[in-house]
């Protein structure tokens, strides 16, 4: 099992628009393609105009396959085109649980 942690820094004045548009137009598409959503968060301390979401996959191959299908979906591409001006920075990292992690 791996976790894909993705964080986006959003222009502060567009954070509400980004979140509302995601819920209304992007979330169903993304969950439909990526599957196991662990959580979607906003930050409260530090960089406060950041969103973080975490997705669970069996392995890197599953992640690559699911993300490729999403990136080929015209509805997802339309959502990204509508919201890409909101995002100033994207960061992604893969997390692997340790042998003693409760989440394995």
pLDDT tens-digit profile of 9-67? 999 999 999 999 999 999 999 999 999 999 999 999 988 899 999 999 999 999 999 99
Domain ranges of the chain: 2-95
β-pair partners for 68 = none
CATH topology of domain 2-95: Alpha-Beta Plaits (3.30.70)
CA distances from 17 to 13, 50, 87 (A): 8, 13, 11
What's this model's pTM, rounded to 2 decimal places? 0.92
- The two tokens of residue 56 are 């669970």
């Amino acid at each position: 099992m791996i976790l894909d942690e993705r964080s986006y820094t959003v222009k502060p004045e567009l954070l509400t628009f980004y979140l509302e548009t995601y819920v209304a137009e992007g979330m169903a598409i993304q969950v439909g393609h990526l599957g196991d959503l662990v959580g979607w968060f906003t930050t409260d301390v530090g960089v406060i105009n950041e969103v973080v979401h975490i997705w669970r996959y069996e392995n890197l191959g599953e992640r690559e396959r699911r993300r490729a299908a999403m990136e080929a979906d015209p509805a997802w591409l339309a959502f990204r085109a509508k919201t890409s001006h909101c995002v100033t920075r994207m960061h992604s990292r893969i997390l692997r649980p340790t042998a003693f992690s409760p989440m394995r």
